Structure formats: C-alpha cells, structure tokens
C-alpha cells in the first residue's frame, strides 16, 4: 500500500535525522506560504495528523465489522 510505503519513508527520514538540529532549518508552509516553520515543527504536525487519522480509522473499523448489510 502507498500509505505504508510513505510511513516507512517518514520513519527512515526521522531516523536519519537523529542528532541533526531540526529547529535550525525552516520551510514555508505549503498551504500558507507566508508562514515559515522549522523542520521539527513540520515533523510534529505530520505525526499528529497521522495519529489523528489512524484514530479515526480505529473508531470506525470495529463498527463496520459488526454491521450487517441492509436487505
């Protein structure tokens, strides 16, 4: 799955960045270019966003498994 590949790449990137000062470099927000963020904040946002979506999926999957098809 594409999502799993992307997550593996992200984990690899974070592992390779060990010991690097991620607050020293900044990037522009891709949605609001007037906002600059450091790389550490970007990774924190991506992690929180992913955790939110995983939580949403986990909430819905059990409900789907227990549901029956309508006649």
Looking at residue 45, what is its pLDDT?
92
Angle between helices 2-16 and 39-66 (to 10 degrees): 150
Q: Mean of the pLDDT values across residues 60-71?
A: 64
Alpha helices in the chain (DSSP H): 2-16, 39-66
| Secondary structure letter of residue 54 according to DSSP | H
Looking at residue 20, what is its pLDDT?
94
Q: Mean of the pLDDT values across residues 8-16?
A: 93
| 31-57 confidence digits (pLDDT tens) | 999 999 999 999 999 999 999 999 998
| Secondary structure letter of residue 30 according to DSSP | S
Rounded Cα distance, 61 and 23, in Å: 37
Rounded Cα distance, 63 and 68, in Å: 10
> Model-level pTM?
0.70
């Amino acid at each position: 799955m594409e999502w799993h590949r992307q997550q593996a790449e992200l984990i690899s990137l974070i592992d390779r960045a060990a010991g690097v000062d991620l607050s020293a470099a900044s990037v522009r927000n891709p949605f609001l270019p007037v906002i600059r963020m450091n790389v550490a904040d970007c990774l924190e946002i991506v992690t929180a966003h992913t955790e939110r979506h995983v939580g949403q999926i986990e909430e819905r999957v059990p409900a789907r498994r227990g549901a029956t098809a309508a006649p």
